Amino acid sequence: MPRLIRKAVGADLPLQEPLRYALYDENQRLLLKRGFVITMPGFAERLLLRGCYIGEPDPQDEAREEEQAAAPEAPKPVAKAPVFLRASDLVTTIRRIHRHLSEPPTDRVVLETFVRDRALQLIAMLDEDSSAVIAAPYLTVDLRDPRPSQQLLGAIVVALLAPLCDFSEAERVALVCAALTRDAGLFEIDRDFGASKTLPDEVRQKLREHPKRSVDMLMRHRVADRLWLTYVLEHHERPDGQGYPLARKEGEIQAGSLLLALADSYAAMVLANPRRSGIFPANSLKELFLEKGSRYVEKHIAMLVKTFGRFPPGTLVSLASGEIGVVKAPAPASGSPVAHVVYDRSGMPRSAPVPRDTAQKEFAVVGCVSPEKCQSASLVIRRLWQ
C-alpha cells in the first residue's frame, strides 16, 4: 500500500513543472504519478477542492512497474489475409518467377529456394482452406495472361493428389515446384502470340520444345533438383509414346511426370484463355477419363474425380430457379453441392450471396456458367472466402 504523507497544498501542484510526489485520494488510490506535469490552468485547483494527498508508492508496486517498463513489449499478432487472397496473390508471384527465368541469372535471388518456399506456402494454404485455394485460380484468371493461373491450378492438383497416389513428401514438393515452373519456356510465346487465334508453324514447333527450354532456363538459374527438372521435362510425355519432346513410353516416364501431365491438361481445359472459354469441370473430367491408359494413369484420374468432383469450389452454376450461384465447398456424398446465389432470377447481382441446396428440385443445377460472364458479381463472389 502507498504511504500518505500529508494533504496536498497549492505549492505541491506547480503548473508546467514535474510533480515531486505522487498524488492520492483519501482511499489511497493513485491520481497522478510522480513526475507528471500539469499543463491545464485550473486543474490543480480542482484537485485541491476534491481533496488529495501527497505520498510515496509501495516499493513493491514501484518495482513491478519498473520491471514492466523494462520488459520488451510482446509482438502483436499480425492478422493473416484470407486464404483466397493469399492464393490469388500467388498468381502474381508465378508471373514474376517466369519473367525472372526469362532473364539472365543474378545473385540477388536463389531461385530454387524461392520457388520451393512458394511450393511449401501453397501446401500450407491447402491444409488451411483447400476450397478457397482451389477457387482462386478459377475465379481470378486474367484472360490477357492466363498462364500463371494455369500454373497455380496445376500445382494445386498435384499437391492434393500426390499423397493420395502414394508419392513421398519430397516427391510432392518437387511436383509442386515443377508445376509452378513447367511452362516457363512459353514466356516469350505467350508474350508475342498470347492473343493470336492461330500460331505459325515455327511457333508450334517451339511450343513442342518448351519442356526442354523450361529445363534449360531452370538449370541456367542454378536449379539442381533432378526430380523437379525431370518432371518439367516429361510433363507432356504419354504412356503410348505419342508425347513430346522425347516420345518416351510407359516405363520410361516418371510416375510424377504423368501426374503432372494430368494436372497440366486439367488446368488448361477448365481455365479460359484468349482463344476459348474454359471447359466446365464436369466435362473436362469426362474428356480426361476417355484418355486413360493412352495418355493418363487411371488411378490419377480416379483421384482427380474424387478430390475435385463435378463441381469443385469456384464453379459457377445456373439453377432451375433461374438464379446463378457459386459453389463454395466440395459437394457432399449425395453429389449435389450447396450453391451460393450471386445473381437473382432477373439476372441482377445480389448484394449478398444466398445459399441454395441443389439437391432440392427447384434449385437443381441445370448448367455451368463461365466466370468471365459474371464479372459484375466478382466482389460478392470473392467475399465468400473472406
To which residue does cell 484470407 refer?
Answer: 82
To which residue does cell 516499493 refer?
Answer: 59
* Mean pLDDT across the chain: 89
Q: Is the pLDDT of residue 351 over 80?
A: yes
Report d(CA 264, CA 133) in Å as an integer. 17
Q: What is the pLDDT of residues 158-181, one digit of tens each?
A: 999 999 999 999 999 999 999 999
The candidate with the shortest Cα–Cα distance to 57, out of 94, 32, 38, 82, is: 32
Report d(CA 125, CA 143) in Å as an integer. 25
Task: Find out whether 131 and 328 touch, Cβ atoms under 8 Å.
Answer: yes
Q: What is the pLDDT of residues 271-327, one digit of tens each?
A: 988 878 889 999 999 999 999 989 999 999 999 999 999 999 999 999 999 999 999
Q: Lowest mean pLDDT of 98-102, 105-109, 258-262, name the range.
A: 105-109
356 pairs with which residues across the strands?
Answer: 339
The backbone torsions φ and ψ at residue 81, rounded to the nearest 5 degrees and listed phi first, read -70, 155
Report d(CA 276, CA 199) in Å as an integer. 14
- What is the side-by-side strand order in the sheet with 53-56? 3-7, 53-56, 22-24, 30-32
Q: What is the pLDDT of residues 360-373, one digit of tens each?
A: 999 999 999 998 88
Q: What is the pLDDT of residue 148?
A: 94
The candidate with the shortest Cα–Cα distance to 23, out of 53, 65, 61, 56, is: 53
Q: Is the pLDDT of residue 66 over 60?
A: no
Q: Is the pLDDT of residue 259 over 90?
A: yes
* Residue that wins the pLDDT comparison between 218 and 351: 218
To which residue does cell 513493491 refer?
Answer: 60
Q: Is the pLDDT of residue 197 over 80?
A: no
* Residue that wins the pLDDT comparison between 46 and 270: 270
Which grid cell is 384? 465468400
Question: What percentage of the chain reaches a pLDDT higher than 70?
Answer: 93
30 pairs with which residues across the strands?
Answer: 24
Q: What is the pLDDT of residue 25?
A: 85
Average pLDDT over residues 246-264: 96
What single letter denotes the amino acid at residue 199?
L
Which grid cell is 124? 500450407
The candidate with the shortest Cα–Cα distance to 122, out of 156, 71, 162, is: 156
Average pLDDT over residues 258-262: 98
Q: Is the pLDDT of residue 72 over 70?
A: no
Task: Find out whether 147 and 186 touch, Cβ atoms under 8 Å.
Answer: yes
Q: How confident is the model at residue 18 (pLDDT cuts 50, 70, 90)?
A: confident
Q: What is the pLDDT of residue 68?
A: 54
Q: What is the pLDDT of residue 248?
A: 96
Q: How confident is the model at residue 73 (pLDDT cuts 50, 70, 90)?
A: low
Report d(CA 179, CA 191) in Å as an integer. 20
Report d(CA 225, CA 3) in Å as an integer. 72
Task: Find out whether 90 and 122 touch, Cβ atoms under 8 Å.
Answer: yes
Q: What is the pLDDT of residues 19-37, one digit of tens each?
A: 888 888 888 888 888 888 8
Question: Considering the entire predicted model, what is its pTM?
Answer: 0.79
